[in-house]
Amino acid sequence: MALTGSKVRRSLVLIGRGMRDEPVVYFWAVLSSGFFGALTVFVARAVGWVTDTVVLPALSGDVAAQGRWWVAGLLLLGIAVTLALSVAGRRIVAGLGYANLQAHHRTRVTRQYLRLPMAWHRQHPAGQLLSNANSDVEAATGVFNPLPFALGVVVMLFVAFGTLISVDPWITLAAFTIIPIVIAVNAIFQRRMSPAITHAQQLRAEVSDVAHESFEAALVVKSLGTADREEERFAAKADELRRANVRVGVVRAYFDPVIDALPNLGSLLVVVVGMIRLAAGEVEPGEVVAAAYLLTLLAVPVRAFGWVLGELPRALVGYERISRVVDAGGSLVEGTATLPAAAGPARVELRGVTVEVPTPRGPLALLHDIDLVLEPGRTVALVGATGSGKTTLASTVCRLLDPARGEVLLDGVDVRELSPDARTGAMTLVSQSTFVFEDTVRENVTLADPGDPAAPSDDDVWEALEAAHVADVVRGLEGGLDAPLGERGANLSGGQRQRIAIARALVRRPRVLVMDDATSAVDPRVERRILASLGEDDGSRPTVLLVAYRMSSVLLADEVVHLEAGRIVDRGTHAELLARDPGYAELATAYERDTERRAREAAEQAGDVEPEVTR
C-alpha cells in the first residue's frame, strides 16, 4: 500500500487508487463535474450572445431587441437551473465517494489490527492505533471531497480554451497566464506544508495516546492524586499540537489568498487585453464581456485546484501513516485444515518449540526447545518464577505467537495449518487481564449478536455461568442475562469479571482450555470450586493447561511442569517435584505463604477475623 517516487507521482497514485476503489461513484462524479464545467463555459458564451444581440441593441433603441428580453431571460434561467442540478448531483455523488473511501480505509486498518500478532500490538500504543483509524484516515481521504470539482475544472479549462481561442488568441493567452503561476505557487506550498502537516499528524497521535493512558489509568490517577500531573502532561502535548496546527494554518494563510487572487488578476488582465483588441477592431464588445465573465466564473472552480493542492500534503501524510499499518509484517498466515471429527478433550503436543523476539542486538529466545505433551482430559499446571516464559508458552499453544522453530500439534495437526474456526472452536484461552464489553451479560458470554442462530442458547449460557460460579451474581443483576455491564464491566468486581470470562470460554465447550492465571482475582474457595468442576469426569471435560500461582490450583492438577528461563526444568506430580526439585520446592513454599496471605486478607475483609497488628 506504501507510495513510492516523487511527490507528484505519489499524489497521482493516491488519487488513482481512491478512484479505482470507487469506480462507479467517481465515474458519475467526474461526468457531472465535466458537464458542469462545459455548461459554465456555455453560460459565458450565452452572456456574450445576450450582450451583442439583446442588451447593446436594446440600449441603442432597437425595438425588436427590446422585445426579445424574455428569450434571453428564459435562456439564462434554463442554464441556471441545469447548473444547479449538476452541482447538486456532483456534490451528492462526491460526498458518497468520500464517505465510502473513509469506511473502506477504516475497515482495512481495523482488519489489519485484528490480523497482526500480539507482539506487534505491544510495540504500538493504543492512542497511536486510534489515530491511525481516525484522524489519519480523515487526512488521507480529505483530498477526495473537492476532487470531482477539480476534475470538472479540467474539462472546463479545455472547453474554455477552445472557446477563447476562437475569439482571440491574445485574450486566450492573457486568460491562461494564471495556470503556470498556480503550478509554481503549489510547488512552493508543497515544500513548506509537507513537514508541517507530518509533524501535526504525529502530534495528533501522541495527544490521543496521552488521553487514552489517562482514561485507562483513571483508578491510579484518582487513588494516587496525580490528576494535576496528568492535566499538565496532556496540556503540554495539546499545546504542542496547537503550535503545530498554527504553523499549518500560517502556511495555508499565505497560500489560499494567492490562489483566490489569481483568477481575479486573470480577469483584470483579460479586460485590459480585450479593451486593447476592441480598440483595434479585432473583437466585438460581447466577446470581451464573455471572456471576462468566463474568467469570473472560473474563479471558484480554479479554487478547487487550490483545495485539492492544499489537501494533498495532508492526504499523503495520512495515507503513508495508515499504509505502515496495512503493510506491517508479522501477520500470522492462517491455514485451511480442519480437525478430525471428534468429541471430548484433545491431545496437545509441543515438539522442540523455540520462541524468539527481535531486539536491536538480535533475536532473543523466550522459550528454548520445549517438548511437552498434554494428554487428553488431563490438567497440567505450569509453574515458574516471574519471567520464566509461562505466558509465552500459553500464548504459543493458542497460536497468539508462532514458534521460530518447532511445532505445536493439536490432535496431530500443526496449529499453523488449522483454519481460524477450527483452531478457536477447539481451543480457548482465558487470560489474567479480563476484558468485558459494554454490553449485556448474554452478549459478553456468547460474543454473538442477538438473533444469531449459531449463538449458544440461554440454557448453555446459564450452564457456563454455573460452572464458573457466577450464576448467582447474574441472577442478582436487574435483567439477568439482559443486564447491561458497564464499560469494561465497571459494575462488576475483578473476580466477577474473571468468572464471566471463564464462562465465556466454557460456553464454547472447548476441547483444550488454557488458563493464564485466570483466577487471580477470585477468592481461593471459589477458585477451587471452579477448577474442581473442570475436572468432573463426564467425558466432556477439556484438556487444561493451567498457569498457576496458588498451591490450591497446583494441587488440583494431574501433572506439574516447572519452567525456568524458558526451559522445562522438571515435570511430574506435586509430591514428586517437591522431593527432587529444590527450585520447585522453594516456589511451592512461596506460593503457600502467598495463598495464606490472600486467604487472611479475604477473611479480614469479610470480618471473620480481627486484622493483624504489625509492630
416 compared with 52, residue with greater pLDDT: 416
Please count the CA atoms within 13 angstroms of the CA of 524 that sit on its side-chain side: 21
Whether residue 201 lies inside any domain: the answer is: yes
Look-up of cell digits 495449518: 417
Q: How far is CA 366 from CA 320, 332, 484, 500, 502, in A?
A: 33, 18, 40, 31, 27
316 and 364 part of one domain: no
Q: Using an 8 Å Cβ cutoff, are 23 and 96 in contact?
A: no
φ, ψ at 350 (rounded to 5°): -105, 125
Say yes or no: 251 and 152 in one domain.
yes
Residue 612 lies in a domain: no
pLDDT tens column, 84-110: 777 777 778 778 888 888 888 888 888
The residue among 274, 292, 326 that closes a domain is: 326
Same domain, 58 and 168: yes
- Is the same domain home to 365 and 318? no
Distance of alpha carbon 102 from alpha carbon 22, whole angstroms = 11
Which residue(s) pair with 356 in the sheet?
365
Q: Which residue has the higher pLDDT, 411 or 53?
A: 411
> CA-to-CA distance for 417 and 166, rounded, in angstroms?
70
Q: What is the CATH number of the domain that holds 389?
A: 3.40.50.300
Note the pLDDT tens digit of each residue in 147-171: 777 776 776 677 767 777 777 788 7
CA distance 546 to 560: 9
Neighbours of 411 (CB within 10 A): 17
Is residue 561 situated within a structural domain? yes
Residue 360 has pLDDT above 80, yes or no: no
pLDDT of 614: 41
Q: Where does residue 348 rank: exposed (0-12), middle (13-18), buried (19+ CB within 10 A)?
A: buried
Same domain, 119 and 41: yes
The segment with the largest mean pLDDT, out of 64-73, 156-165, 230-239, 382-391, is 382-391
CA distance 451 to 443: 11
363 is a domain residue: yes
Task: Could you list the beta-strand ranges (E) of 375-523.
Answer: 379-383, 405-410, 413-414, 427-430, 512-516
Q: What is the pLDDT confidence band of residue 574, given thresholds at 50, 70 and 90?
A: confident
The pTM of the full predicted model, rounded to 2 decimals, is: 0.66
Are both 244 and 385 inside the same structural domain? no
Q: Residue 561: its pLDDT value, please?
A: 92
- Domain assignment of residue 333, yes or no: no
Q: What is the pLDDT of residue 560?
A: 92
Q: 182 and 40: one domain?
A: yes
CB 562 within 8 A of CB 583: yes
Half-sphere exposure of 295 (CA within 13 A, CB side): 29
Q: 231 and 98 in one domain?
A: yes
Asked whether residue 556 is domain-assigned, the answer is yes
The predicted model gives 1-24 an average pLDDT of 81
Q: Cβ distance 186 to 337 under 8 Å?
A: no
Least confident range of 214-218, 381-385, 466-470, 579-583: 214-218
Instruction: Give residue 354's pLDDT.
Output: 92
Strand blocks (E) in 120-257: none
**Do 36 and 171 lie in a common domain?**
yes
Beta bridge partners of 94: none
The pLDDT of residue 195 is 78
Residues 6+ positions from 351 with CB-CB distance below 8 Å: 371, 406, 407, 408, 409
Query: Do residue 296 and residue 183 come from a single domain?
Result: yes
Residue-level pLDDT at 615: 33
| Three cell numbers written together for 285 | 464588445
Within-domain flag for 505:
no
Average pLDDT over the chain, rounded to whole?
79
Same domain, 397 and 258: no
Query: Is 495 within the bounds of a domain?
Result: no
Which of the four pLDDT bands, split at 50, 70 and 90, describes residue 604?
low
Percent of the chain with pLDDT over 70: 84
Report whether pLDDT(607) > 60. no
Residue 334: Cβ-neighbour burial (10 angstroms; 0-12, 13-18, 19+): middle
Please report, for the domain that includes residue 148, its CATH number. 1.20.1560.10
Report, in angstroms and rounded to the nearest whole number, the Rg of the chain calculated over CA atoms.
36
Q: What pLDDT is stored for residue 351 in this prediction?
A: 93
- Side-chain-side CA neighbours of 44 within 13 Å: the count stands at 27
User: Could you list the residue range(s) of the whole structural domain that residue 276 is in?
Assistant: 7-326
Q: What is the pLDDT of residue 184?
A: 76
Q: How far is it, in rounded angstroms, from Cα 442 to Cα 480?
A: 9
pLDDT of residue 297: 60
With beta carbons less than 8 A apart as the criterion, state whether 243 and 250 touch.
no
Which run of H or of E encompasses 45? helix 23-50
CB 493 within 8 A of CB 502: no
Locus of grid cell 503457600: 592
| Statement to judge: residues 369 and 310 lie in one domain | no
Number of domains within the chain: 2
Burial state string for 199-223 with b = 16 or more CB within 10 A and e = fewer than 16: bbbbbbbbbbbbbbbbeeeeeebee
CA–CA distance, 368 with 388 (Å, rounded to integer): 11
Contact assessment for residue 284 and residue 275, using Cβ atoms and an 8 Å cutoff: no
